[in-house]
């Protein structure tokens, strides 16, 4: 039996593997599913087993899993293609007879009515229909969704969004990775659904104020109409379908759909989630 992490060369996948190793899981007991052996070379160097497979090529997934494996299905990053990709993984996991399938969905599950959540809701139902032992990790927003894109904010002195006064209970990506490692290594998580979010919800005005405090510069939050933000994003080169999804997420934030502070994440990791100020400081250093 191995703990198998799909999408292992992505940001979240690598952090999950780091968390597993830090928790004392032997490298030889971890399998990393990746499309590119070169990108996975650093994981192989740690002693992690690399299994080459591609969500888009179901035949390659037949050797990705073994009977008794605990599998983390990290949702694919190609919006609009996730359902067939996830279906291929679920089918392969069922055929192999894995002991647990953990899926990273979105905060709110069936109640998340924004477009980005649609494929996650379909995937959860596919998992339920498969009959596999499951755990759902409904991840809230990553703080890095903002802090990894600081250059234009600092250049223009403004945080642009269409989220109104909505609040965001974000956490660091490493917090979500640690929660996944807990669920993959512990008992009592089968059939459970965890709504994961940060301990404290913050507004984009507060985010701008924190940036101002740490940089010594004036950073303002500019709330703009959705149509205006759509034009700004497409003008910056974001494809229109993705830009529309991002605007839709902002409207979901305005409605409070990413503000929930359930405490599930901090309980799973056994500590408070990473504060916004700490994530901002780390981003500015890098």
What domains, with CATH codes, occur in the chain? 3-140+172-196+261-271 (3.40.50.720)
pLDDT digits (tens, 9 = 90+) for 62-120: 999 999 999 999 998 888 899 999 999 999 999 999 999 999 999 999 999 999 999 99
Q: At what angle do helices 118-130 and 82-96 cross, to 10 degrees?
A: 20
Residues of the chain with pLDDT > 70: what percent?
100
pLDDT digits (tens, 9 = 90+) for 173-215: 999 999 999 999 999 999 999 999 999 999 999 999 999 999 9
Task: Classify residue 87 by burial, with Cβ atoms within 10 Å: 0-12, 13-18, 19+.
Answer: middle
DSSP-assigned letter for residue 35: S
Q: Which residue has the higher pLDDT, 79 or 158?
A: 158
What is this structure's pTM? 0.96
Buried b (16+ CB within 10 A) or exposed e, 17-47: bbbbbeeebeeebbbbbbbeeeebeebeeee
SS3 state of residue 138: strand
pLDDT of residue 250: 98
pLDDT of residue 77: 85
CA distance 232 to 135: 39
Residue 1 has pLDDT above 90, yes or no: no
Contact 150/215 with Cβ under 8 angstroms? no
Q: To the nearest whole number, what is the mean pLDDT of the chain?
A: 96
């Amino acid at each position: 039996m191995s703990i198998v992490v799909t999408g292992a060369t992505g940001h979240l996948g690598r952090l999950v593997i780091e968390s597993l190793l830090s928790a004392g899981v032997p490298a030889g007991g971890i399998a990393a599913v990746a499309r590119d052996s070169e990108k996975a070379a650093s994981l192989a160097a740690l002693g992690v087993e690399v299994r080459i497979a591609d969500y888009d090529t179901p035949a390659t997934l037949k050797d990705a899993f073994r009977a008794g494996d605990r599998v983390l299905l990290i949702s694919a990053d190609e919006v609009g293609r996730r359902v067939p990709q996830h279906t291929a993984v679920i089918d392969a996991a069922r055929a192999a007879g894995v002991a647990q399938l953990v899926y990273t969905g979105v905060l709110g599950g069936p109640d998340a009515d924004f477009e980005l959540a649609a494929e996650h809701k379909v995937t959860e139902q596919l998992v339920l229909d498969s009959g596999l032992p499951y755990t759902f990790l409904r991840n809230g927003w990553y703080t890095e969704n903002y802090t990894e894109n600081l250059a234009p904010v600092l250049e223009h002195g403004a945080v642009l969004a269409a989220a109104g006064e909505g609040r965001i209970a974000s956490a660091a990506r490493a917090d979500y990775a640690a929660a996944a490692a807990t669920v993959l290594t512990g008992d009592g998580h089968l059939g459970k659904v965890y709504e994961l979010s940060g301990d404290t919800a913050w507004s984009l005005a507060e985010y701008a104020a924190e940036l101002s405090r740490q940089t010594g510069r004036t950073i303002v939050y500019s709330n703009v109409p959705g149509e205006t933000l759509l034009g700004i994003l497409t003008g910056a080169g974001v494809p229109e379908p993705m830009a529309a999804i991002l605007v839709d997420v902002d409207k979901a934030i305005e409605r409070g759909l990413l503000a929930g502070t359930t405490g599930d994440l901090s309980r799973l990791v056994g500590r408070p989630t990473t504060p916004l100020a700490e994530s901002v400081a780390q981003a500015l250093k890098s």
